[in-house]
Amino acid sequence: QVQLVESGGGLVQAGGSLRLSCAVSGSTFSSRASGWYRQAPGKQRELVADRSSRGGTNYADFVKGRFTISRDNAGNTLYLQMSSLKPEDTAVYYCKLNSNGRDYWGQGTQVTVSS
């Protein structure tokens, strides 16, 4: 059974940084597509950044130059390094893994950026 558990969210002032982690069990991030998404209150879930199965990365325009997606060498953890945070980055952040043709989601971690 594939499970994803996010951590690292919290309250931070505008301009600050956070690093989110997503730990996987029952699968691996190696050679699999994965990504980070977010959902703010009253809004649809949106892509923040993703990695292809070959390691290529893609970022939403609103985070380019501020966020970095990566994973550990073992393929067990996906990261999202967030810097220069803005109040509009406030949302629940979710990680996603595509494994054997199916998408798996974590439960989300809250990020709140105060002005």
Residue 58, pLDDT score: 97
User: How many CA atoms are closer than 13 Å to the CA of 91, on its beta-carbon side?
Assistant: 21
What is d(CA 43, CA 7) in angstroms, rounded to the nearest whole number? 22
Tokens of 83: 């810097």
CA distances to 4, 11, 76 from 26, in Å: 9, 30, 10
What is d(CA 22, CA 78) in angstroms, rounded to the nearest whole number? 5
What is d(CA 54, CA 39) in angstroms, rounded to the nearest whole number? 26
Listed as ranges, residues in the chain with pLDDT below 50 are none
CA distances to 41, 64, 90 from 30, in Å: 32, 23, 29
What dihedral angle (degrees, nearest 10) is formed by the CA atoms of 74, 109, 111, 72?
A: 0
